[in-house]
Amino acid sequence: MADPMKLETPKTQEKQEKNKEKEKEEIKQITEWVDQIKDENTREKALEELSHKRESLSDLALYIWYSTGTVATLLQEIINTYQYLAPPKLTVNRSNRACSVLALFQCVAAHPETRHPFLKAQIPIFLYPFLNTLNKSKPYEYIRLTALGVIGALVKIDNREVIQYLLNTEIIPLCLRIMERGSELSKTVACFIVQRILLDESGLKYICEKAERLNAINTVLCFMIKNKPSQRLVKHIIRSYNRLAENEEGKNLLKNNLPEEMKEQEFINSLDDSSRKWLANLNRVLKGEKTMNINNPNPNIGINNINMNMNHNNGMLGNMSNMGMPMELNNNPNMGNPMTMNPNMMVLNPMNLPTQGYMMQQQPNDFNFQMYGDQYLNNGIYMGNQNPNNGFGNMNYYGSPHLN
């Protein structure tokens, strides 16, 4: 006799049929939009539709990665944007288009089945020129922030492969410069990325094994504290300090180099309960006392998706979530129109642009980068490569032609 609990009622069957139809329609819509990406005439609209609906399309990353020619087309869109970075000619429309591509790459970076091939193909390297821009106008800020979101999607999940990959690129110097010069939101995401790298044992060891790297991070963290950061940014700063203090070299440095502002009662009183506990824990560690048992309700603080696009009134629309803190951006007078918050590399040469190239060059002991233009190269790829004699590393050139 059939189990009455397992019998399907007509309503259950009808619901299942509707779900199947919905799934078929979703697959059909995804494949249509993905195919339209490959057509220049329909690409912009398809990019916009996919980026806006990516949260509701669970397997979008798989369709993007495994469909023929899609990733190549998206990379070409990224490469074609390089020419607008220097001299600065980036328009609202061009920025929105690039942000839509970056939003799709966030999906690929976040998906467990596409994360590994995404790294193996060196796709994050193509994003680094966007992180290297200094222009503070909104089109550049949005594209920079969305590019950070792709890296944030990678580091959100504890994954040794991701950290090792990033340590072999110039992501830390790039994040440090953004933490020093970027907008409040860009600083927050960049600091989050650095914090996630520090949480990995190999990342902490890498930072602390050379004095210049450790000093560089401490200098930037001190600089941000002195400039009165927001509560959400302070959380990441204090937790980064806590992680550095777990290493003997980091602990020795911080004993005498912690910002004086962090010792002032006014600063301590301004912190929320969580940050105040982390600061107290840091002070105990530096004094050689036992650490506190801090109850962190969200130990895996991360970023699901960041996608910054401008609306027709030059305001900003964004998707950003799971940062472990309230975003509270609606009343920010410097961010354009209110944001809507929903849950939700180093190739430095536009390879197919014959007259415009970019190179980021790290100066020894100076974690700023310089941009070089079209007289240096026509084709080829610059990859960040670790140099044990040069802090975070330097830039080596791979490809043809060679540098002059």
CATH label of the domain that carries residue 236: 1.25.10.10
Query: Per-residue pLDDT averaged across 301-322, rounded?
Result: 45
Please check the confidence at residue 383 and state whether its pLDDT lies above 70: no
Q: What is the DSSP letter of 54?
A: G
Among 169-173, 298-302, 385-389, top mean pLDDT goes to 169-173
Instruction: Give me the pLDDT at residue 365, please.
Output: 31
Please check the confidence at residue 349 and state whether its pLDDT lies above 60: no
Kindly state whether residues 258 and 366 are assigned to the same domain.
no
Establish if 198 belongs to a structural domain: yes
| Lookup: tokens for 76 | 């070409």
Kindly state whether residues 194 and 295 are assigned to the same domain.
yes
Kindly state whether residues 295 and 363 are assigned to the same domain.
no
Kindly state whether residues 369 and 285 are assigned to the same domain.
no
Query: Per-residue pLDDT averaged across 142-147, rounded?
Result: 97
Q: Residue 319: enclosing H or E segment and its boundaries?
A: strand 316-319
| Lookup: tokens for 16 | 């299942």
Query: Per-residue pLDDT averaged across 288-306, rounded?
Result: 54
Establish if 139 belongs to a structural domain: no
Q: Which pTM does this prediction carry?
A: 0.73
Last residue of a domain, one of 255, 276, 301: 301
Q: Which of 1-5, 21-25, 71-75, 319-323 has the lowest mean pLDDT?
A: 319-323
Q: What is the distance in angstroms between the CA of the first residue and the CA of the last residue of the chain?
A: 83
Establish if 69 belongs to a structural domain: no
CA 37 from centre of chain: 24
Instruction: Give me the pLDDT at residue 134, please.
Output: 85
Kindly state whether residues 195 and 284 are assigned to the same domain.
yes
Q: Residue 108: enclosing H or E segment and its boundaries?
A: helix 92-110
Kindly state whether residues 272 and 369 are assigned to the same domain.
no
Q: What is the DSSP string of 212-262?
A: HHHHHHHHHHHHHHHT---HHHHHHHHHHHHHHHTSHHHHHHHHHHS-GGG
Q: Which residue has the higher pLDDT, 291 or 389?
A: 291
| Lookup: tokens for 63 | 């369709």
Establish if 375 belongs to a structural domain: yes
Please check the confidence at residue 5 and state whether its pLDDT lies above 90: no
Kindly state whether residues 291 and 383 are assigned to the same domain.
no
Domain extent at residue 259? 184-301
Number of domains composing the chain: 2
Establish if 113 belongs to a structural domain: no
Instruction: Give me the pLDDT at residue 246, please.
Output: 95
Last residue of a domain, one of 282, 301, 320: 301
Instruction: Give me the pLDDT at residue 8, please.
Output: 60
Establish if 285 belongs to a structural domain: yes
Question: In this structure, are residues 154 and 115 in contact, taking their beta carbons and an 8 Å threshold?
Answer: yes
Question: In this structure, are residues 376 and 359 in contact, taking their beta carbons and an 8 Å threshold?
Answer: yes
Establish if 260 belongs to a structural domain: yes
Helix 138-155 and helix 171-181, axial crossing angle in degrees, nearest 10? 130
Establish if 170 belongs to a structural domain: no
Instruction: Give me the pLDDT at residue 396, please.
Output: 32
Query: Per-residue pLDDT averaged across 281-302, rounded?
Result: 68
Query: Per-residue pLDDT averaged across 106-132, rounded?
Result: 96
Share of the chain above pLDDT 70, in %: 70
Last residue of a domain, one of 280, 301, 322: 301
Which band of pLDDT confidence, cut at 50, 70 and 90, is reported for residue 368?
very low
